[in-house]
Chain A
Amino acid sequence: MNNKDRLGEFEELILTIVAVLNGDAYGNSIVTEIESQLGRAVNLGGVHVTLYRLEDKGYIKSKVGGATSVRGGRRKRCYSITGAGLSLLKSIKEERQHLWKLIPQLK
């Protein structure tokens, strides 16, 4: 894992949530999911910017989905995790696990 591949905390969160929502991730669903799972309030704008950035990096991909009446007939852009994104998540987890094992208090 080189430096370029490092994710910020918020980026990692969004990437994980996109993986959790499994194809049904779009702006609002991500905000709601974070709120319901972690009780943390996030801004829509921040989520969007992070999504675009992650997409640029190639960890998630998007598809413009069908319109719903809730949104005034506007379509939504649904995100799903890519192979690269998934393996990045895995490697982050392994890295953490490795470090966890080294914490003496937890032994």
Chain B
Amino acid sequence: MKQDVKMPRWLLTFLRWICPDDLIETIEGDVVEQFEYDVQRVGHPRARLRAIIHTLDFVRIGIISRRNKKRSIGPMVGHFFKFSLRGMKKHPGYSFINIAGLSVALATVLLILVYVNDERSYDKFHPDADKIFRIVSTIDMGGQVMYTSFSPNALSDAVAHDYPQVEFISRASFFGTDKIVATDTKEVFAVGLAADAAFFKIFPYKFIEGDAGKPFPDNASVVITKSLALKLFGEATNNVGKVFRNGLHVSAVIDDVPDNSHLRFDYVARMMDYGKDAAVWINFGSYHYVKFKDPSDVDEMSRSINQVLLSKLSSDPRTSGFKGELVFQPLTEIHLGETTYTMEPEGKGNKQYVVIFTLLAIFILAIACINFTNLTTVRGIRRAKEIGLRKTIGAYRLQLVAQLLGESLMAVCIAMLFAIVISALALEPFNAMVGKNLSFNIQTFGTPLLISLGAMAASGLLSGIYPAVILSSVHPSMLMKGAHGTSLGGGTLSRSLVVLQFVFSILIISGTLVVYSQLRYIRTKNLGYQRENVIRVHDWSKTYPTFKSELLQVPGIQAICALDQNLIDVIGGGGIDWPGRTTNGVPIVNGLTVDCDFLKTMKITLMKGRDFYSDAELDTAAVIVNEEAVKLLGVADPLGLKIRGITKGRLEVVGIVKDFHFRSIHESVTPLFINQRNIGNFYTNMLIRIEGDPQRNIDAIEKAWKKFNPQKSFVYSFLDDDLQAMYHSEEITEVLFKVFAAIGIVTACLGLFGLSSYTAEMKSKEYSIRKIFGASSSNLFYSSTIGHLVLVLIATTIAMPVGYYLADRWLSSFAYHASLSVWPFALGGMMATALALITVGSQAMKVIVTRPSVTLRSE
């Protein structure tokens, strides 16, 4: 009868659904037993009802919660990690190559992104940064266009009166960088700015002390930054009212200017109002910053102000024919702007380098990702048997893909952790190299970390997808048999990826060589004067003639001259006019004021005419011009030509000198007019040519300096060091290129090493059999390396024209550059080939020295 009285099936199904797997059997047993017992006691229908009640009674938290606890998810995750780690442990070499390559590459990418991010963040910290503009000028000098970040002196009054759409306008001008600020007890170097009170409305720096509404209560007021206050007075508070030695007194203390500001200063003094003579439209004398109420007014305002400029200038006969315009440059575009403006504050960024670095970061990342793909494939194939077995047991394809992808993602995660550690450790040297002050915190590293995390996840997935899909698609019997032919591993895809890798590596290597050759060109180029053994004193001595004659008594001192500007960065100048002028309007030229020994000190070649007379009183009207100026003047014999402009008086051309470089080599030499003056305080620095032991000479100069200028400190540098500092960004590029090149080629070779060792292993039996049949060592070497070397050669062929094109574009940004030959590219290709040969060759050697019996015995 027992067969008739059965538990309803659905009750058992329901029980199975709610109960934990490990308990279900005994629970079911108990329920069934109870049911059978009830059937005998109370009959079938009531027993059935009771069974339902009993079953439903198992819907308890105490039962159901047990179900999830011990569900298979736990063991599966544990199993996954166990297998991943086992896989890594089994092939420590591969795991190392894989993870180390990726970590270094990711760390590099991270640092570069931090750098690029910082470059792009300039001036964005200001609230309303989008409403702030700088007015810059483009001046057509008759054929040549001059870009200057200065704008006409008359601008600030005109804008303040006639343009209500501008909320604030402020002039600003540097006192000259690295001037000394002194109190009675302390002397420090500080960068000072002269500006109007509105400056602090446009750039709302936080006032720690003092009145933000009235930063300059009188003409001697000065606003200083917190760090200058600390340096000068030793405390950040209670500084208002303290005085400098030159009579200025502190009216307010503001927060420090962030590093990512294009305009950096330690103090701001009040800019004096212009006199009638100075506040004119033709005098491009200072920066002008404006803040708009609504930035959409910019275009209209720009049109209107340019009309005013042209009408003012053409109404004056001296300036009529002026061609040029004022441009409203958005604040946030100043740092990485493509146009190089003269008078730009120090530390302007270079968009080109930002682009180059981004490109390099992408190359490195690509090389590492390709490695990752190829090595994951190889490792996957080595585990073909494991995968075959899994498939046979009944693993779903999705499970296999998840396992392989998960493993590659895990490797990426480990690599990312290492990358963070590496980049944190490398930050200090990196900072020193690029001259920045980046710190390891969430602000600087947040975004780059997110970007690289994203890139990482993407690359992990992309690198994992190929092997995962390929391997999981192959029939298990194939995998189990170990039929892992070339169709699986060294397929077309992974071969083309290797080619791509080497294209990138060769590009980076040849890039390094090109940058190096250009830097060497800069370092050794004849600038038109002798740069060696010249000491530049960054200030001008009191009673200069006496100072000079006394110093010339010192045996090592050959010559001294004083200048009104830094010789390596001459920016001053003005408009000139002369009889017989054919240019459109008055051209604006560069002017340099020196004393009579300039040509002698700098050893500049005089081509025609005479040098300055040593008695400046007799020679105030003399001007010496360069060859470019002669071209501009367009007169057959410019000697004796009368020129109006530059200084107020009339000038006469007395000599012509060979062109020399008085600005960065990025720019061409422009017309230059040199005149002499003996009004002492006109000069700002002195150049001293020395001979013999530099230290002894420096000591002698310092002694004389102290004697004549007990109040001022002695600051000097070597001219060739200054020149080198000028090409700092090129040097950074060179160093970074070198590091990149090393990382790139090593990563690429690591990848090749992994691949070639894999092929060597796959083909070990083939080579052993060849050996038995009498193949010579060279024969084997050839056949085991040629496959990979061909790839590198293909890469060289592709990389050379691409690299040539890119290098050509970079070099053409210099007005003077090294000639571009095929050598860097040939050398890059050769280096890559040689390194590849060593990598692949080491594997081939292993094949050659292995005795055939070792590989063949196993079957």
Q: Does B692 contact A (CB under 8 A)?
A: no
A45→B57 contact, CB < 8 A:
yes
Q: What's the least CB distance linking B40 to chain A, in Å?
A: 11
A70→B33 contact, CB < 8 A:
yes
The residue that A45 contacts in the complex, of B28, B29, B63, with Cβ under 8 A, is B63
**Complex CA distance for A74 and B32, rounded to whole angstroms:** 9
With a cutoff of 8 Å between Cβ atoms, the chain B residues found around residue A70 in the complex are 33, 36
With a cutoff of 8 Å between Cβ atoms, the chain A residues found around residue B58 in the complex are 44-45, 48
B30→A43 contact, CB < 8 A:
no
A77→B26 contact, CB < 8 A:
yes
Binds B, one of A1-9, A16-24, A25-33, A93-101: A25-33
Q: Does A52 contact B (CB under 8 A)?
A: yes
**Complex CA distance for A26 and B31, rounded to whole angstroms:** 11
Give A71's nearest chain B residue, CB to CB: B29
With a cutoff of 8 Å between Cβ atoms, the chain B residues found around residue A26 in the complex are 26, 30
Contacting residues of chain B (61-84) with chain A, CB-CB under 8 angstroms: 62-63, 66
**Complex CA distance for A74 and B190, rounded to whole angstroms:** 91
Q: A64-B26, A74-B29, A75-B26 are in contact. Are A44 and B63 (CB under 8 A)?
A: no
A48→B63 contact, CB < 8 A:
yes
B54→A44 contact, CB < 8 A:
yes
Q: Does A57 contact B (CB under 8 A)?
A: no
B31→A44 contact, CB < 8 A:
yes
Interface centre among A27, A46, A52, A71 (most CB of B within 10 A): A71
Q: Does B814 contact A (CB under 8 A)?
A: no
Q: Does B582 contact A (CB under 8 A)?
A: no
Q: Return the CB mask of B5-44 against A: 1 if under 8 Å, else 0.
A: 0000000000000000001011111111110110000000
**Complex CA distance for A32 and B30, rounded to whole angstroms:** 12
Q: Does B60 contact A (CB under 8 A)?
A: yes
A48→B29 contact, CB < 8 A:
no
A49→B30 contact, CB < 8 A:
no
B62→A52 contact, CB < 8 A:
yes
Contacting residues of chain B (494-519) with chain A, CB-CB under 8 angstroms: none
| Interface of A: prevailing SS | helix
The residue that A72 contacts in the complex, of B23, B26, B29, B37, with Cβ under 8 A, is B29
Number of B residues with CB within 8 Å of any CB on chain A: 22
Q: Does A61 contact B (CB under 8 A)?
A: no
Give B26's nearest chain A residue, CB to CB: A77
Q: Does A53 contact B (CB under 8 A)?
A: yes
Q: A48-B63, A49-B62 are in contact. Are A74 and B26 (CB under 8 A)?
A: yes
**Complex CA distance for A26 and B54, rounded to whole angstroms:** 16
Number of A residues with CB within 8 Å of any CB on chain B: 21
A28→B37 contact, CB < 8 A:
yes
**Complex CA distance for A48 and B30, rounded to whole angstroms:** 9
Give A74's nearest chain B residue, CB to CB: B29
Q: Return the CB mask of B769-808 against A: 1 if under 8 Å, else 0.
A: 0000000000000000000000000000000000000000
With a cutoff of 8 Å between Cβ atoms, the chain A residues found around residue B63 in the complex are 45, 48-49, 52
B57→A71 contact, CB < 8 A:
no
**Complex CA distance for A44 and B29, rounded to whole angstroms:** 11
A48→B27 contact, CB < 8 A:
yes
Give B28's nearest chain A residue, CB to CB: A74
**Complex CA distance for A69 and B587, rounded to whole angstroms:** 114
Q: What's the least CB distance linking B383 to chain A, in Å?
A: 37
With a cutoff of 8 Å between Cβ atoms, the chain A residues found around residue B33 in the complex are 27-28, 70-71, 76
Q: Return the CB mask of A37-70 against B: 1 if under 8 Å, else 0.
A: 0000001111011001100000000001000001
**Complex CA distance for A75 and B32, rounded to whole angstroms:** 11
**Complex CA distance for A99 and B60, rounded to whole angstroms:** 35
**Complex CA distance for A46 and B53, rounded to whole angstroms:** 12
Q: What's the least CB distance linking B103 to chain A, in Å?
A: 45
With a cutoff of 8 Å between Cβ atoms, the chain B residues found around residue A45 in the complex are 54, 57-60, 63
A28→B34 contact, CB < 8 A:
yes
A28→B30 contact, CB < 8 A:
yes
Q: What's the least CB distance linking A53 to chain B, in Å?
A: 6
A44→B62 contact, CB < 8 A:
no
Interface centre among A31, A44, A75, A76 (most CB of B within 10 A): A44
B57→A43 contact, CB < 8 A:
yes
With a cutoff of 8 Å between Cβ atoms, the chain A residues found around residue B53 in the complex are 43
Q: What's the least CB distance linking A3 to chain B, in Å?
A: 20
Give A48's nearest chain B residue, CB to CB: B27
The residue that B25 contacts in the complex, of A28, A32, A48, A75, with Cβ under 8 A, is A75
Give B53's nearest chain A residue, CB to CB: A43
Contacting residues of chain B (719-750) with chain A, CB-CB under 8 angstroms: none
**Complex CA distance for A105 and B358, rounded to whole angstroms:** 93
**Complex CA distance for A92 and B727, rounded to whole angstroms:** 89
The residue that B26 contacts in the complex, of A31, A46, A53, A76, with Cβ under 8 A, is A76
Q: What's the least CB distance linking B710 to chain A, in Å?
A: 85
With a cutoff of 8 Å between Cβ atoms, the chain B residues found around residue A31 in the complex are 34
**Complex CA distance for A76 and B30, rounded to whole angstroms:** 7
Q: What's the least CB distance linking A10 to chain B, in Å?
A: 12
With a cutoff of 8 Å between Cβ atoms, the chain B residues found around residue A64 in the complex are 25-26
Give A31's nearest chain B residue, CB to CB: B34
Q: Return the CB mask of B518-554 against A: 1 if under 8 Å, else 0.
A: 0000000000000000000000000000000000000
Q: A26-B26, A74-B26, A75-B25 are in contact. Are A49 and B60 (CB under 8 A)?
A: yes
With a cutoff of 8 Å between Cβ atoms, the chain A residues found around residue B25 in the complex are 64, 74-75
Give A53's nearest chain B residue, CB to CB: B62
With a cutoff of 8 Å between Cβ atoms, the chain A residues found around residue B28 in the complex are 71-72, 74
Which 5 residue pairs across A and B have the least CB separation, nearest first?
A: A45-B57, A27-B30, A74-B29, A49-B62, A77-B26
Q: List 23 A-B contacts (CB under 8 A).
A: A27-B26, A27-B29, A27-B34, A28-B34, A32-B37, A43-B57, A44-B34, A45-B54, A45-B58, A45-B60, A46-B57, A48-B30, A48-B63, A52-B62, A52-B63, A53-B62, A64-B25, A64-B26, A70-B33, A71-B30, A71-B33, A72-B32, A75-B26
Contacts A43-B53, A52-B63, A52-B66 aside, 10 further interface pairs with beta carbons under 8 A come to A45-B57, A45-B63, A48-B58, A49-B63, A53-B62, A70-B33, A74-B26, A76-B26, A76-B29, A76-B30
